């Protein structure tokens, strides 16, 4: 059995401008806008939802299978992931396009100018899951995260056709997708992940009520930022789990991806939903305390100690046997 993580693979190019963009903008001349800014620094980070989730799973001792499309420039990123235990043999390498790229400049007021180049991500629609399952074994779950929209729909349909349990995580694509596509991505999922705002957006765009959505998925997992997590299923009591206390937040990018990694790892270990959410929250705490989505490290003992501090010794005892 294996975990297939399908979604975006990207690099982030992040720059900081010490001044204010607003001081260089003339409102009456915005239709003729042509400005440049001398930035103070440049950080190039590994990213993409699938890359982040796969990395998180590998940090917990699993060997996830990354499913997505990248360019020839993926070589260094691939080496990083493989050194950390991620199976990258099913990543499609485009012959013509670069790996997806997010380029963003942030000023002193946190205002941003940003661009996203999908590049090779558009070729995710050409990936078939069946041959991957033949290579690694039938998947426990296929997580279908934000990616090329046609690729997301294809993966979802194939999961239904082949009987693979899938996790719907449409995330950023909810803002751009129409109701028909979102209904396609959600219907039949074993798990549906979203934050609070996205859960309302799913209802609005699909035209389904919260109860109707729950009738179409096995379990819905909703994150509420600093307010924690809610897990709703038709066959069990609602579960609410608080975040890890004492966290000093530095950078929120990738926190949701880390939570998904922890939750999926616990499902793979056959732990109950409450434990899954707790493992996810602890992993998310490590990410938010660092700059970069894959820059955190910990030992098994450190992870278990933090879990015990946040959720008690019983939780730690349940998780400890699964960590190397």
Q: Would you name the residues annotated as active-site residues?
A: 257
Query: Cα(80)–Cα(57) distance, rounded to whole angstroms?
Result: 14
Closest C-alpha among 27, 36, 23 to residue 108: 23
Angle at 46 between CA 42 and CA 52, to 5 degrees: 140
- For β-strands 100-106 and 112-117, DSSP reports them as antiparallel
Rounded to whole angstroms, what are the CA distances from 46 to 2, 69, 294? 23, 15, 7
Structure tokens at 279: 């493992």
- For β-strands 229-233 and 219-223, DSSP reports them as antiparallel
Q: Which long-range contacts (CB under 8 A, 24 or more apart) does 172-177 make?
A: 172/49, 172/146, 173/146, 173/147, 173/149, 174/198, 174/201, 174/202, 174/205, 175/201, 176/149, 177/149, 177/205
- The residues that bridge with 16 in the sheet, in sequence order, are 41, 106
DSSP 237: E
């Amino acid at each position: 059995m294996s975990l297939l993580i399908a979604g975006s693979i990207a690099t982030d190019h992040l720059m900081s401008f010490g001044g204010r963009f607003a001081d260089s903008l003339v409102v009456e001349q915005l239709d003729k806008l042509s400005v440049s800014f001398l930035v103070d620094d440049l950080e190039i980070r590994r990213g993409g939802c699938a890359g982040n989730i796969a990395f998180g799973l590998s940090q917990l001792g699993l060997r996830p299978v990354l499913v997505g499309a990248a360019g020839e420039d993926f070589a260094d990123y691939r080496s990083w992931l493989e050194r950390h235990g991620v199976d990258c043999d099913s990543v499609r390498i485009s012959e013509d396009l670069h790996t997806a790229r997010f380029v963003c400049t942030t000023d002193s007021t946190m205002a941003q100018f940003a661009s996203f180049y999908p590049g090779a991500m558009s070729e995710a629609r050409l990936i078939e899951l069946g041959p991957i399952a033949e290579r690694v074994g039938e998947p426990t779950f296929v997580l279908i995260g934000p990616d090329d929209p046609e690729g997301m729909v294809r993966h979802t349909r194939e999961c239904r056709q082949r009987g693979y349990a899938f996790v719907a995580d449409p995330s950023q694509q909810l803002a751009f997708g129409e109701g028909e596509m979102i209904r396609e991505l959600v219907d039949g999922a074993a798990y549906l992940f979203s934050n609070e705002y996205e859960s309302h957006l799913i209802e609005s765009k699909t035209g389904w009520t919260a109860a109707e959505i729950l009738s179409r998925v096995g379990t819905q997992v909703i994150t509420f930022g600093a307010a924690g997590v809610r897990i709703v299923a038709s066959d069990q009591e609602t579960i609410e789990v608080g975040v890890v206390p004492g966290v000093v937040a530095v950078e929120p990018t990738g926190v949701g991806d880390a939570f998904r990694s922890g939750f999926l790892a616990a499902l793979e270990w056959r732990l109950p939903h409450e434990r899954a959410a707790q493992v996810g929250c602890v992993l998310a705490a490590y990410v938010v305390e660092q700059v970069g989505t894959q820059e955190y490290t910990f030992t098994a003992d450190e992870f278990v100690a933090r879990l015990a501090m946040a959720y008690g010794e019983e939780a730690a005892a349940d998780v400890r046997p699964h960590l190397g």
